Amino acid sequence: MPSDPRLAGLLRLFRAALRPDPGSGRILLALLFGMICHAVFALAVAAMMVAMFFGMEKSLGEIPWPWAILVNAFLVLQFPLAHSALLTPAGRRVLARVVPGAHGETLSTTTYATIASMQLLALFALWTPSGVIWWQAEGVAFWLLCASYGFAWLLLLKASFDAGAEVQSGALGWMSLLANVKPIFPDMPTLGLFRFIRQPIYVAFALTLWTVPVWTPDQLMLAVSLTSYCLLAPLLKEKRFRAIYGARFKAYCQQVPYMIPRGSRPRHTMPGPGTGEGRMRSRRLNGVEAD
């Protein structure tokens, strides 16, 4: 088993899922949820990458103007509002009941990832383009922005891995159900990009919004709205982390900045898991810690 907890957790989950306990109904449900979750996730990421690359001018929405303004505004708002609401105690209870019966709570992280992916897919696939292009990069500027856009997406991928790929992708729920075990959530992330800033996922997501080679009123509205969400939503996440991790998270906040890295090298004196880790884990089994 690798010493890196990010890999150790993934391998433990994969190995358990490869040797599932008997139960055809449970296994079929887990595989069905896994296929749906990852298919919708892939479609949402592809739609987002393509739509923003072209300044939101390549989309399927055909709402007549000016009604398109209201629909587009709704598409922008529905993602951050529902995304955050489902992480509240009431939202977590809803997630645990989406699947009736005994498996709803185990599948809650997969359910959450599926809903978030459907929201993103709706936002980027159903957007009604304005048809107005303010600026389109050409020559060297185009290739520099393409490289920056690709780099931002790689940062987002790396940050998601550092935070716990099994949670961020939705695999934790369905693979735990397949293995017939309780979900084991990753510990508080402090490795990788989390050594430099506390919210690398939100920073990387915001960077994808501002490194596109085509600028339109649509892209500006999207970038301003979702960047505001990226600045504010982590405050709610950190409130949850303070309640879960207590002194560990407080010490982490004192050493690692919120979103802007310090010029000096990060100090590696993070406190290890304390005596409250067992209680923290049991609490998190009933919740969904994802960005």
Per-residue pLDDT tens for 25-77?
A: 999 999 999 999 999 999 999 999 999 999 999 889 899 989 999 999 999 99
For residue 39, being part of any structural domain is answered with yes
For residue 291, being part of any structural domain is answered with no
Total of domains in the chain: 1
Residues in the chain: 291
Its domain, for residue 273, covers 5-284
Q: Collapsing DSSP states into helix, strand and coil, what is residue 57? A: coil
Establish whether the linkage from the previous residue to 213 is cis, with ω within 30° of 0: no
Spatial distance between the Cα atoms of 178 and 18, rounded to a whole number of angstroms:
8
For residue 134, being part of any structural domain is answered with yes
- For 98-157, how does the pLDDT look when each residue is reduced to its tens digit (9 = 90+)? 988 889 999 999 999 999 999 999 999 999 999 999 999 999 999 999 999 999 999 999
Predicted TM-score of the model (pTM)? 0.87
- For residue 84, the model assigns a pLDDT of 86
In contact, 246 and 185? CB cutoff 8 Å:
no
For residue 150, being part of any structural domain is answered with yes
For residue 290, being part of any structural domain is answered with no
In contact, 187 and 273? CB cutoff 8 Å:
yes
Spatial distance between the Cα atoms of 70 and 90, rounded to a whole number of angstroms:
28
For residue 271, being part of any structural domain is answered with yes
For residue 244, being part of any structural domain is answered with yes
Q: Collapsing DSSP states into helix, strand and coil, what is residue 214? A: strand
Indicate whether 284 pLDDT > 60. Answer: no
- For 260-272, how does the pLDDT look when each residue is reduced to its tens digit (9 = 90+)? 998 765 555 555 5
- For residue 274, the model assigns a pLDDT of 47
Over range 92-97, report the average pLDDT.
91
For residue 289, being part of any structural domain is answered with no
- For 193-244, how does the pLDDT look when each residue is reduced to its tens digit (9 = 90+)? 999 999 999 999 999 999 999 999 999 999 999 999 999 999 989 999 999 9
- For 130, the token pair is 């304005």
- For residue 265, the model assigns a pLDDT of 59
